[in-house]
Amino acid sequence: MQLDFPTLGAVFMLNTAIFTALLFFAWALNRQVKALAWWGLAFLLILVGMGLMVVAQGAPTLATLLVANSLLIAAYSVLYGGCRAFNARPISLPSLGAGVVVWWVAFPFISDSSATRLVLTSVLSAGYALMSAWELWRHARHRLASHVAAIILLLGLVGFNALRGALGFSLAQSLWIAGPVPPGSGAMAIGIATFMPTIAFVFLSMAKEQREDHYKRAALIDPLTRIPNRRAFLEGASALMSQQRETPTSCLLFDLDNFKQINDPYGHKVGDHVLEIFGSILSDHVPGGVYGRLGGEEFSAIVCLDEDDAGRLAEHIRHSFESIAKIVRGQRVDVTVSVGCATGATSTVKDLLRQADTALYRAKAQGRNVVVSASAR
């Protein structure tokens, strides 16, 4: 098959322009995903850099080569910046600009050697592509399915730049010069022309998947205390107990004492802060277990402990809360918590909650601010 490289180059430019617009448009619709703006800028830099080579019509001046390659190296660095932004990690502008600085410093010494220029741009581009892949693999906040595709494509960019540096492959030569080209350039040209839409699609998919993951997680978090809500607690508790099989598992059921007497005289801001305090104490004391706010002033935790150890843990939580929640927002509230504890090896979550609720009722009847086990009589 005879390839029309100028036409292939035009397709490359058109695709790049379209996906540049799509990335910026997606960012305009969802400003919270700042990575989309970074990736859109990377595509724009590629578009402008390649545009300069098109205008040069296969015979670029040294000034054109200097600027065009600066833009292409900057595109790779901005791509890396987008990956860091996607992971909500700080972006160091000096590290992004280092590649362009190296290119400008080295250019006067290598301007007469096209092979050396190509090797340097390939090394700098491959370096940023590798850093981008590492960023998504090592520092992802939440592992997404589209992460794998993005990492593979970025590693493909590393390989592409390694090959073009070794084989002397030039995009400008292969896409816009009608004449002899190095062996293998046709396959590389087709690959890079189809690569841009693919990686843009993956970036858009990553942004969509991240937002969906955010909303899914938000649906499982209590907005006030920032700990799991009732739905998340029940799902986590069922999963944990199915894993434990016949190992003793305990349910701790907490209810803040006389909470209505806090809200009425002191206001809901004080009451809300009391709930936040208890949520924080619970998360500190049960880092490896399942816990959550069931609603109102009621909380629960499922822990892989026998009855005695679970009772001691409940007592630690009760004491910590009593010690900390004395002065809230300048008001003396002296709030306490009652705890019901139930343990079983083959019980369901529903069974343990029911038994713990019975124990909690007895704790209230005994004067509150105590821990009562379901087995106690």
pLDDT reading at 83 higher than 60: yes
How far, in Å, CA of 170 to CA of 276, rounded? 60
Per-residue pLDDT, averaged over 19-32, amounts to 93
Residue ending a domain, among 218, 247, 268, is 218
Mean pLDDT for the chain overall: 85
Would you place residue 87 in the very low, low, confident or very high pLDDT band (cuts 50, 70, 90)?
very high
How far, in Å, CA of 299 to CA of 305, rounded? 18
Confirm whether 273 is domain-assigned.
yes
Confirm whether 224 is domain-assigned.
no
CA 307 to the chain's CA centroid:
38
The pLDDT value recorded for residue 1 is 47
Q: Are residues 179 and 236 in the same domain?
A: no
How far, in Å, CA of 338 to CA of 335, rounded? 10
Looking at per-residue confidence, does 266 or 161 come out higher? 161
How far, in Å, CA of 56 to CA of 38, rounded? 27
- One DSSP character per residue, 107-134 reads HHHHTT-HHHHHHHHHHHHHHHHHHHHH
Confirm whether 92 is domain-assigned.
yes
Confirm whether 193 is domain-assigned.
yes
Asked which of 41-45, 119-123, 212-216, 301-305 is least confident by mean pLDDT, the reply is 212-216
User: What CATH code is carried by the domain that includes residue 353?
Assistant: 3.30.70.270
Question: H or E element: which one contains 169?
Answer: none
Q: Are residues 17 and 159 in the same domain?
A: yes
Residue ending a domain, among 185, 218, 251, is 218
Confirm whether 225 is domain-assigned.
no
Beta bridge partners of 161: none
Domain tally, the chain: 2
Q: Are residues 355 and 307 in the same domain?
A: yes
Confirm whether 365 is domain-assigned.
yes
297 is catalytic: yes
Q: Are residues 168 and 292 in the same domain?
A: no
The pLDDT value recorded for residue 291 is 94
Residue ending a domain, among 158, 190, 218, is 218
Q: Are residues 170 and 22 in the same domain?
A: yes
Q: Are residues 236 and 349 in the same domain?
A: yes
Q: Are residues 274 and 327 in the same domain?
A: yes
The amino acid present at 73, given as its one-letter code, is I
Give the torsion through C-alpha atoms of 3, 191, 6, 196, to 10 deg.
150
The amino acid present at 146, given as its one-letter code, is S
| 293-307 burial: b if 16+ Cβ within 10 Å, else e | bbeebebbbbbbbeb
**Kind of pairing between the strands at 290-295 and 337-344:** unpaired
Domain that holds residue 192: 5-218
Q: Are residues 311 and 337 in the same domain?
A: yes
Among candidate residues 297, 298, 315, 322, the one labeled active-site is 297
Q: Are residues 249 and 292 in the same domain?
A: yes
| 10-21 burial: b if 16+ Cβ within 10 Å, else e | ebbbebbbebbe
State pLDDT tens for residues 350-363: 999 999 999 999 99
Q: Are residues 127 and 250 in the same domain?
A: no
Q: Are residues 185 and 252 in the same domain?
A: no
User: What CATH code is carried by the domain that includes residue 47?
Assistant: 1.20.1070
C-alpha torsion sign, points 276, 296, 229, 237: positive
Confirm whether 97 is domain-assigned.
yes
Q: Are residues 308 and 172 in the same domain?
A: no
